């Protein structure tokens, strides 16, 4: 008998995650109790489905899963999350009792790709040249910036955090002629050497980097880790990239540096998630501000669905899960 499966997420946020072929694979692996995802888990209909559910696929906009969920779903054996972080909706007691797998590794790919593009553009002075060209509308071969220190050859790039995204970014940067620095409390010097990076303290990384890219988790211990003192360590004209979480950066301190024109920034995440309409960050010429698009969007989301279906197939076949979330590491996750 096939295991029984249900979905629980907000469908408006999960379009394109499961292509038709992946849904067909799921139908061949499981008995799908209902194709429409559950938006809540407390109604009689939802509880009736939960009572029979052995595999629950979640995604963006999921209902909270806690001890009451376990009580309502006594047969539940696997939660397969088709997005990134789980800590905002899955309670620790659930991870202790039920196997939980996440597509965070698949979501790391587009974030790392976005980061590499931002690094390459930053080192080429794209924002500066865009504004000069728009203003002067002439050949710029004789412009002083052409003979400046811009360019991607032998630049120093600092990666803050050996997260999945940080490590994927390092992997994608390997073919370039960069000096790569890494700050990480979980990486040994031997591991750093194998990655082709120099392991350094955070202050040293900031002081030496032409571009510093943030890939640390948002924890109480990392809140405002990048503060005014540390931002001041960055050299004049350096670029700071944040695709992690806005809370890790003292945004007022960063804004002061950016308004002064001393630093450049690529900012994909902020605190709050959507800035007030009057925020100067929208209009500063040395800032590329994007609305949290580094992660999977559009067709990139199919990669998440594929990972989840692959994990479900492994589970059904009794094979080890490749992307299981260890319950003892739940407090360290982004």
Q: What secondary structure does DSSP assign to 24-37, as a single string?
A: HHHHHHSEES-SSP
Buried residues in 293-307 as b, exposed as e (16+ CB within 10 A): ebbbeeebbbbbbbb
- Return the structure tokens found at 139: 């050949």
Taking the C-alpha atoms of residue 108 and residue 127, their distance in angstroms, rounded to an integer, is 25
Q: Which of 25, 215, 245, 301 is catalytic?
A: 245
Do the Cβ atoms of 71 and 95 come closer than 8 Å?
no
Let me know if 292 is a catalytic residue: yes
Give bridge partners of residue 226 from the DSSP assignment: 249
Place of tokens 């509880």: 47
Distance, first Cα to last Cα, the chain: 37
What's the distance, CA 164 to chain centroid?
A: 8
Backbone angles phi, psi at 7, to 5 degrees: -115, 150
Looking at the DSSP bridge assignments, the partners of residue 65 are 90
Measured distance CA(97)–CA(88) in Å, rounded: 17
Cβ-count burial of 77 within 10 angstroms (0-12 exposed, 13-18 middle, 19+ buried)? middle
Instruction: Tell me, yes or no, if 215 is annotated catalytic.
Output: no
Contact yes or no for 164/104 (Cβ under 8 A): yes
Catalytic residue among 77, 292, 303, 327: 292
Do β-strands 31-32 and 55-58 pair in parallel, antiparallel, or remain unpaired? Answer: unpaired
Q: Which residues are catalytic?
A: 245, 292
């Amino acid at each position: 008998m096939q295991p029984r499966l249900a979905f629980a997420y907000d469908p408006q946020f999960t379009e394109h995650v499961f292509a038709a072929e992946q849904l067909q694979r799921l139908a061949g692996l499981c008995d799908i109790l209902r194709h429409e995802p559950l938006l809540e888990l407390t109604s009689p209909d939802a509880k009736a489905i939960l009572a029979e559910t052995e595999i629950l696929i979640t995604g963006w906009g999921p209902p909270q899963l806690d001890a009451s969920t376990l009580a309502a779903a006594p047969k539940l054996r696997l939660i397969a999350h088709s997005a990134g972080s789980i800590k905002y909706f899955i309670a620790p007691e659930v991870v202790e009792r039920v196997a939980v797998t996440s597509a965070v590794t698949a979501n790391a790919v587009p974030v790392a790709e976005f980061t590499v593009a931002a690094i390459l553009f930053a080192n080429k002075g794209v924002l500066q040249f865009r504004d000069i060209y728009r203003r002067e509308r002439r050949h710029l071969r004789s412009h002083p910036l052409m003979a400046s220190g811009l360019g991607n050859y032998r630049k120093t790039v600092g990666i803050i955090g050996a997260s999945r995204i940080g490590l994927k970014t390092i992997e994608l940067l390997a073919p370039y002629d960069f000096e790569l620095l890494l700050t990480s409390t979980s990486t040994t010097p031997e591991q750093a050497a194998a990655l082709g990076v120099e392991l350094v303290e955070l202050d040293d990384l900031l002081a030496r980097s032409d571009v510093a890219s943030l890939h640390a988790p948002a924890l109480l211990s990392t809140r405002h880790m990048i503060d005014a003192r540390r931002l001041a360590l960055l050299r004049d004209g350096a670029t700071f990239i944040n695709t992690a979480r806005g809370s890790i950066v003292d945004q007022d301190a960063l804004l002061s540096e950016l308004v002064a024109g001393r630093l450049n920034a690529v900012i994909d995440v902020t605190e709050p998630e959507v800035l007030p309409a009057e925020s100067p960050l929208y209009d500063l010429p040395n800032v590329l501000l994007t609305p949290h698009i580094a992660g999977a969007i559009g067709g990139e989301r199919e990669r998440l669905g594929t990972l989840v279906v692959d994990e479900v197939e492994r589970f059904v076949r009794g094979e080890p899960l490749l992307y299981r979330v260890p319950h003892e590491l739940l407090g360290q996750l982004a």
